[in-house]
Amino acid sequence: AIAVAVERDAGVRRMRDDEWPVAEHLDLDLAFNSIGFSLQGSGSLMDNRIASVAGGIAEFHEPLLSLDIDAKGSGEKLRLLMISSPLNQEYGEHLRAVTLRGDATVALALRLPLNRSPGEKRIDGTVDLSRASLADSRWDIAFTDVSGRTRFSRQGFATANLSVRLP
């Protein structure tokens, strides 16, 4: 079961889930209605700036937390965040072997059933790189000028038309 709580600590609002790092410095607008709530705002997660987050729970009797998140920042910080997320369970070996330098833009859709509510957790997203550097220590490969989009989910990572340059 997932327990999501919003805490106040020395004036800093935090949101946590047992599988994800603590979200901090949240600036959220919450709107409660008679059957659920919605939210929108910004914050940070493991030193990654979240430019926008929107979502909520449509109906409390079937609590499915939906969050759509847009972030832009250091590719390396985003890689470290993925290592600290549920993606690490299946892909940690790959995530730990990769080095990513440069900026990345991430769009992420999370669907998290709370308590014993029906449905599976979903993580779907994209990472856009522009002129980044990417290396993998296992295969002794390194690319520069990496540009393009990679899709990811709990099922894996996939990319098409990623342009790279060999040094």
Q: Are 120 and 138 in contact (CB under 8 A)?
A: no
pLDDT of res. 17: 56
DSSP symbols for 107-153: EEEEEEE-TT-SS--EEEEEEEEEEEEEEETTTTEEEEEEEEEEEEE
pLDDT tens track, the chain, 167 positions: 333 444 444 444 444 456 777 777 888 888 888 899 999 999 888 888 999 999 999 998 888 889 999 999 899 998 898 888 877 888 888 889 999 999 999 999 999 888 776 678 888 999 999 999 999 999 999 999 999 999 988 888 899 889 999 88
